[in-house]
Structure 1
């Protein structure tokens, strides 16, 4: 899953990376948490000057997806993530997968390795960032929820996929990463069906991210400074041993 992430680059970097016409300034955010506003990139109805490509715009949404049919948010779970394997057919996300796919700019995300209770080991937080050090785009979904009094709230979720082997040493899920050359195809909800972008919802390459152990400062939402990304070690948990069959047909951990 993805329960915390950061966006610490400048607004100009975001604007240039995603080809935005304009973008208001915003501060570096080191510990973005559920229910907080997050920046997402959407495809607009306007066309780029001298091009047939739609303009891209940045909007703020509440991180916590609310389908339009929800009557009372208090009676509905907080959906910060959507499983890419089932989002196309799941009632909560079906309409957004077809009509409101977005990109979520990020500098990286946090994940926790939680050992078995029997081990007696404490949980370890990791700051997981792209090795190239630039912006990464998570695949996201957006929905506008309307209350009975007519007020509206834009909401969003981040799509996740089974983790690659590297991240799988920490957690079994990771955000879906959309490559720059696929931004237009992911955002094209007018001519692109969900099945046409299913091939984009795959784990990132093994060497795309690096995981940095950090302190438990990140656990508290109130901690929002760069100190939460300070390394406290340089090791990952051991890789999980694959389960296979021996020559004798018996299951083996080796």
Structure 2
């Protein structure tokens, strides 16, 4: 699953990388949490567009969003068949730029948070789905969910699921919902390469949503680093919990 992440690249750098039409301005975020506004990149008529939406997808058929449990994550293995995600998987795929994400590993009776970030810096693009919910009174809520997949060997030491990362070479294909049905992008639904991320143990300050500053990413011990062909920590405890 993915329940917290971060985006600290400047607006100018992000626009150059994703080549969207808009020129938004936004602050660095170190501890993005569910229900908060998140940045997505979507495709339309061959162009990329930036949009802020609420994290927690609401399907268009929901009658009362206040009584509906927000869908933060969608399992990539079943998203094309699930009623809540089927329409978005076909028509409303998006990218969710991220500088890294957080995950927790149970250690005895406590949980140790890890900041999992690209080893070479920069950002990655999580696969996402977005929806527009229209109320009877004309109100509109734009929302999104992040797709997850099985963990690679590095992340499996912490949790059994991880966000689905779309490689830059595949961004256009993922966003091209007019030309690519879910079956045409099925091969992209796989764990990230073993060497993409490092996992940094950080303090429990990140547990509190109000702590949205760079100090939540300060290492408290040496990072875990994945290597191709290496199974990692064979003695790691099974990860706890999963969504969708």
The partner residue of 1:83 within 67, 75, 78 is: 75
Give the equivalent residue in structure 2 for 1:111. 103
User: Equivalents in 1 of 2:71, 2:221: separation in Å?
Assistant: 32
2:58, 2:25 → 1: CA distance?
27
2:200 equivalent to 1:208? no
Residue-by-residue CA offset, 1:126-166 (whole Å, 9 max, x unaligned): 00001110110000000001122110010000000000111
> Which of 196, 199, 216 in structure 2 is aligned with 1:228?
216
TM-score w.r.t. the length of structure 1 is 0.87
Other structure's SS at 1:16 match: helix
Q: Distance in 1 between matches of 2:195 and 2:23?
A: 31
2:13 is aligned to: 13
* Rg larger for: 1
Q: Deviations over 1:217-253 (max 9, x none)?
A: 00000001100000011155x72359xxxxxxxxxxx
RMSD: 1.5
Alignment of 1:186-201 (within 5 A): 186-201=174-189
Separation of aligned partners in 1, 2:42 and 2:166: 14
Is contact 2:198–2:223 with CA below 8 Å preserved after alignment?
A: no
Match of 1:57 in 2: 49
Q: Which runs of 5+ in 2 are unaligned?
A: 225-231, 237-244
Aligned pairs for 1:25-44 (under 5 A) are 25-44=25-44
1:140 equivalenced with 2:134 (yes/no)? no
What are the superposed Cα offsets for residues 68-125 of structure 1, whole Å, 9 maximum, x if unpaired? 000112322121100000000000000000000000001000000024xxxx342100
Equivalent pair of 2:37/2:54 in contact (CA under 8 Å):
yes
Query: TM-score of the superposition, structure 2-length normalised?
Result: 0.91
Q: For the residues of structure 2 that align with 1:124 and 1:34, how far apart are their CA atoms?
A: 20
2:63 to 62, 67, 71: 71
SS of the equivalent of 2:87 reads helix
Q: C-alpha distance in 1, partners of 2:106/2:141?
A: 34
Correspondence for 2:138: 150
1: CA distance, partners of 2:74 / 2:16: 28
Ranges of 4+ aligned residues in structure 1 off by more than 4 Å = none
- Length, aligned pairs only: 230
Inter-partner Cα distance in structure 1 for 2:146 and 2:234: 26
Q: Equivalent of 1:96, from 88, 94, 107?
A: 88
